[in-house]
Amino acid sequence: MRTKIHRTMSSLLTTTLLLVLVVVCGCDGDGPGLPGDGPEPIEAKVPELIARRLVDFDRLDILEMAPTWTDDDLWILFNAGPGSVVWKIDPDGGADPVAVTDPENSHWILGGYAPFAMEKGRLGYFQGVLPGSFGMHLMSIGQDAVAGEPEAEILRTFLGTSVGLNFNQISSPRMLSMDIQAIRGVGTWKTTWFLNWFEQDDGPILITRPATGLEDASDFRISRDGDWVAYRDGTGTVWWIPFNAEEAHPLGEGSHPSFSGDGARVGFVTPNALDYVVYPREDGVPVLYKGVDFVNIQYPVLSTAGDRIAFLSENEEGVSLFVGRLEP
């Protein structure tokens, strides 16, 4: 079904928190449906999803920004204070988180924001002010970097005018999502912009276009290959759209969509902030992972393999980082 676009995140815990999830396949009365006629319900399965707290709220001041996965799923990247530092943590081990950018540069204007995975083991992030370089920047740093060593390199430089700001205005995006080549992306400053760099003889040229018709939309996320964008409209429905097209495809009610590595599946948290659903981007049967009351899912992001999510969870004491496995 197609329709035109409309306006529319102590120490590491060593114990494992078990979240028993009921996986409901098909579109019954408890789960969101596919556009058009849904498939017939099939027998429900009851696996256990192991959700493990990776970083506790009193260990780091975790910022309420989406975490992400490296392209090989070996690390989860996230933002935490002081200021805004890019951190990484092994989702499978018990090691401490590692600062990727320099935690001594704690002033917000020198901070690293919105980390994203790149190919060939590189990591990317946004940085505003950079001594000796005017404008706003996408930075590239090695996956093995610790506290800014080896130093990051400038990957892209662009001006505020490209994203609706003044010429000399520098502002960190409220949201930024890039593909693994850092060629295509979508970012929100005052409004949301689609970004596309084209290689020219004298260097890459940035072409931007505003997300016209999506002024009320949020939670934008681009696929790793840059071909697709998912978002939540102003009424709470999740959609996906080809990067260069104007036709959007609805999936269901929820927020914070993200793609599997091949772009074939879109996962997002349901409106109760407790359950997680994975939809085939085109035809197929969705799977609803039903959670429990004491762990809310915020800013979830699918792994490249599509078998895990990294997410934040907040209680009255603070924000913690979790990883959860999506059983087949």
Residue 1: inside a domain: no
Give the CATH number of the domain where residue 121 resides.
2.120.10.30
Q: Which 8-state DSSP code applies to residue 92? A: S
Residue 2: inside a domain: no
Residue 260: inside a domain: yes
The Cα 148–Cα 127 span in angstroms is 13
Q: What is the largest CA-CA distance in the chain?
A: 61
Residue 263: inside a domain: yes
Q: What confidence score (pLDDT) does residue 208 get?
A: 96
Residue 221: inside a domain: yes
> What predicted TM-score, i.e. pTM, was given to this entire model?
0.84
Question: Which pLDDT tens digits describe the chain residue by residue (328 residues)?
Answer: 444 444 333 333 333 333 333 333 333 433 333 334 433 332 334 345 568 899 999 899 999 999 999 999 999 999 998 889 999 999 997 789 999 999 987 666 678 999 999 998 899 999 988 888 889 999 999 999 999 999 999 999 999 999 999 988 889 999 999 999 999 999 999 999 999 999 888 788 999 999 999 999 999 999 999 999 999 999 999 999 999 987 899 999 999 999 999 999 999 999 999 889 999 998 888 988 877 667 899 999 999 999 999 999 998 889 999 999 887 6
Distance between the two ends of the chain, CA-based, in angstroms? 27
Residue 163, phi then psi, degrees to nearest 5: -125, 35
Neighbouring-strand partners of residue 123: 117, 141
Residue 219, phi then psi, degrees to nearest 5: 55, 40
Residues 6 or more apart whose Cβ sits within 8 Å of residue 245: none
CA dist list (Å): 261 to 68, 100, 285: 12, 23, 18
Residues 6 or more apart whose Cβ sits within 8 Å of residue 241: 5, 228, 229, 230, 231, 247, 248, 249
Q: Which residue has the tokens 């997300």?
A: 211
Residue 3: inside a domain: no
Q: Cβ distance 247 to 260 under 8 Å?
A: no
Q: Which residue has the tokens 């970004």?
A: 195
DSSP output for 255-282: EEEEE-TTSSEEEEE-TTSS-EEEEESS
Residue 247: inside a domain: yes
Domain assignment of residue 248, given as a range = 9-325
The number of domains in the chain is 1
Q: Cβ distance 230 to 240 under 8 Å?
A: yes
The Cα 311–Cα 320 span in angstroms is 9
Residue 302: inside a domain: yes
